[in-house]
Structure 1
Amino acid sequence: MNFPHENATMLGFEKSEETFKEWDNYWNTVQLHRTEGILNVTHGNDIDWKFSGSNGDVKESETDKKQGWVFAMRHGERVDLTYGHWVQHCFDENDTYVRKDLNMPLTLSAREGGKESYAKDTPLTRVGRFQAYLVGEGLRLAGVRLHRVYASAALRCVETAHEMMRGLQADPSLKIFVEPALFEYKGWHMAKGLAPFMTPEELQNAGYDVDVDYKPYLEMDTNTTETLEDFYDRNEKVIQTVVTEAEASGENVMFVGHASTLDMAAFAIKRIDQSPAELRPYQISKNLLRVPYCALAALRPKPWRLVCPPCPPSINSSSGRFDWTILEDAGTAQ
């Protein structure tokens, strides 16, 4: 019997080889040399996730614990960075999507540009969706509810927001506000260009809880370039406007975007309390590569400050794609 995925033996090959090298390093370091595990290294001190304040020991009222939060979250694991050039393996001659790996989306909905758009505007893996669900679950167990959720127009960000809300068991009336201005710097995509973002109607038809009537604060043209200053300005304008409105009403807000979204949110929100003389120009952080999938940042007001998120982070091990044919050499000495 032949299966559809048998003709995709090279799918994710290069990425898998990179992962196997990383796993070999991990095995040697942790297992053979008996060094500290990741939990010992990153969480040496016990943290009371439900009750920690700005410095870990500030006790807050029940009302404060549930309101006044601003969160910024990176999207989950993405298909293209997991499998590499995946589109050529997963769309047949009729441009119909066929899943070739269990961690890939079960289906992909119709959108303008078809497979070419998916190649430039990647979906999440199944693991990526679960990562986002866990964050929502963590917030729910910490007693936090959200009143507004804004997502970058990139598909991976909308999917992350949708799954996070599922884990949160959010009120059905809570919808995702798709805000194109939260997209990352367009200059990073100059080599291959940007696909047109999926419209709210396309996203709704695909099953995502988006508000089709929402009017973005700023529109963004995927066909034009921008300067870094343009990137900073559009993100800051949206973030500061939303946060100022939410602060007045005591609402909790979530921005779901990219690694840069966490940095931009922390920078833009702290500037709300600064005088013009204190303002300094934004610079891209040297730590962006240390922001993992579904990383969560949290800020509290009066004055605005970064605080420990009310739920713990997560980590998952890397895994390469298994090639069953290696078992044909079973019993053969290496």
Structure 2
Amino acid sequence: MGAETSHLDYTPDPGPNDNNNNDNGNERPRENVNNADAGGSNAKQSWIYYSRPGDRAPPTSLPSWHPKYYNVEDIVNSDMDTMVDVTDKELEPATAISSNIGRKIAVVRHAESMNEAFPRWYSYCVSNDHYTAKDLNHPATLPNRSKGLASYNVDPPITQIAKHASRILGEALAKETSIKWDNVVSAPELASAQTAAAIAFSTTGDKAFINIDETLYDFSHGKIDFMTPMELMKYDITVKSKPMKTREEGESSVLRVLSEFEKVQRQYTGNLIVVVGPTAFDAVVHRLIGRERGKMRKRPIIPQLACVILEKGPESWKLSSKQVLPFRINSSASILFDPISYYSK
């Protein structure tokens, strides 16, 4: 190092053939190196810092540097301007894992869709690519989609009553449980997105946003051309993260949902509300608190807006002592949902 430099110098790591290292190969940082004679009036100091695992940080009076990390999915699916900086997440200490004990996740089945309430609604309400509501419980309008109105036949909206019911559930999650909910994550189906947006309006401080993850797609619905974030804005739904498109079917899709749900738990901090379709709901709850199943057997009937609040224990998930009352409405009025049935006997 030159004697005249007075700024912070980062010395590169020695190569494999460099024999000037100490015995254990982990040279300690050298600090406060005088570059002039001791006691000289113009004495200057330089700092040498080897950035290696285990080294202590450079002095607080000098600027520090560490690399930035980005999600691979963001790099692939997003513009550079929209990439999410996750440096803080990557550098979290291992002790943060223990802080997850007591964490809550509310798994919610989406509200009643038009296909469930009115099985023939599309042929009744759509003619010549024009939609007309025929019931007060029908949506007043249907915004255009990139694939045309025919997409609503396989990816329907929720009913007007269902939208109101979703807000009631959101209020119950916020007030009756006394739990602070930090994020609302939704499957990409329109019914799930609308349900999640209505719940988020009542439960989180970030009322205008939900997170959509296409990997939580309910495979029982068949192939769907999901609405884009721009199209969802026509429903007053604003998406934080870009969806990731996935197109699996069958048993591999069951494993995919379970695997991706594990990633959702790690990606989002705090207490989560996750809104999914009935088959994904059943698969997730079975994985977290139920008995293991090698193959997908006939699932129990999951009524609209079924909600289970799970709590992280030291070793596994369990039912939280804070649950909301069941919500029975329309076609699900006679269905009793009991999450206790998921426990192994």
Instruction: In structure 2, list runs of 5 or more residues that go unmatched.
Output: 1-98, 333-345
- The correspondence for 2:272, drawn from 230, 243, 253, is 253
Kindly indicate whether the alpha-carbon contact (under 8 Å) linking 2:201 and 2:208 is maintained by their aligned counterparts in 1.
no
2:283 aligned partner:
264
Partners of 1:131 and 1:116 in 2: CA distance: 26
- Aligned with 1:201: secondary structure? helix
Q: Does 1:314 align with 2:327?
A: yes
- Aligned with 2:238: secondary structure? coil
2:88 aligned partner:
none
1:19 aligned partner:
none
1:143 aligned partner:
178
2:162 aligned partner:
128
Partners of 1:267 and 1:256 in 2: CA distance: 16
Partners of 2:159 and 2:328 in 1: CA distance: 16
Question: What is the percent sequence identity of the aligned residues?
Answer: 23
Partners of 1:282 and 1:148 in 2: CA distance: 31
1:294 aligned partner:
305
Give TM-score scaled by structure 2 length. Answer: 0.60
The AA in structure 2 aligned to 1:304 is S
The AA in structure 1 aligned to 2:213 is E
Cα shift at 1:104: 0.6
RMSD: 2.7
Q: Does 1:284 align with 2:296?
A: yes
Residues 157 and 317 from structure 1, CA distance in 2 versus in 1: closer, same or farther, beyond 3 angstroms? closer
1:220 aligned partner:
246
1:201 aligned partner:
230
Residues 138 and 176 from structure 1, CA distance in 2 versus in 1: closer, same or farther, beyond 3 angstroms? same
The AA in structure 1 aligned to 2:254 is Y
Partners of 1:167 and 1:88 in 2: CA distance: 34
Residues 239 and 318 from structure 1, CA distance in 2 versus in 1: closer, same or farther, beyond 3 angstroms? closer
Cα shift at 1:286: 3.6
Residues 165 and 311 from structure 1, CA distance in 2 versus in 1: closer, same or farther, beyond 3 angstroms? same
2:202 aligned partner:
167
Cα shift at 1:288: 2.8
Give TM-score scaled by structure 1 length. Answer: 0.62
Cα displacement string for residues 29-61 of structure 1 (whole angstroms, at most 9, x for unaligned residues): xxxxxxxxxxxxxxxxxxxxxxxxxxxxxxxxx
Cα displacement string for residues 207-261 of structure 1 (whole angstroms, at most 9, x for unaligned residues): 11322xx144x5313xxx5231x11222112211222355xx5x00111011123
| Residues 35-50 of structure 1 aligned to structure 2 (within 5 Å) | none
Q: Does 1:236 align with 2:248?
A: no
Cα shift at 1:317: 4.6
Partners of 1:181 and 1:281 in 2: CA distance: 21
Cα displacement string for residues 67-99 of structure 1 (whole angstroms, at most 9, x for unaligned residues): 610111101111112112211221233x22211
- Aligned with 2:117: secondary structure? helix
Partners of 1:235 and 1:81 in 2: CA distance: 23
Partners of 1:243 and 1:269 in 2: CA distance: 12
Partners of 1:282 and 1:70 in 2: CA distance: 24
1:53 aligned partner:
none
Partners of 2:209 and 2:287 in 1: CA distance: 24
Kindly indicate whether the alpha-carbon contact (under 8 Å) linking 2:279 and 2:299 is maintained by their aligned counterparts in 1.
no
| Residues 169-188 of structure 1 aligned to structure 2 (within 5 Å) | 170-172=204-206, 175-186=209-220
Aligned length: 230
The AA in structure 1 aligned to 2:319 is V
- Aligned with 1:149: secondary structure? strand
Kindly indicate whether the alpha-carbon contact (under 8 Å) linking 1:232 and 1:282 is maintained by their aligned counterparts in 2.
no
Cα displacement string for residues 159-181 of structure 1 (whole angstroms, at most 9, x for unaligned residues): 0001111232x213662111111
Higher relative contact order (Cα pairs below 8 Å, separated by 6+ residues): 1
- The correspondence for 2:153, drawn from 119, 132, 135, is 119
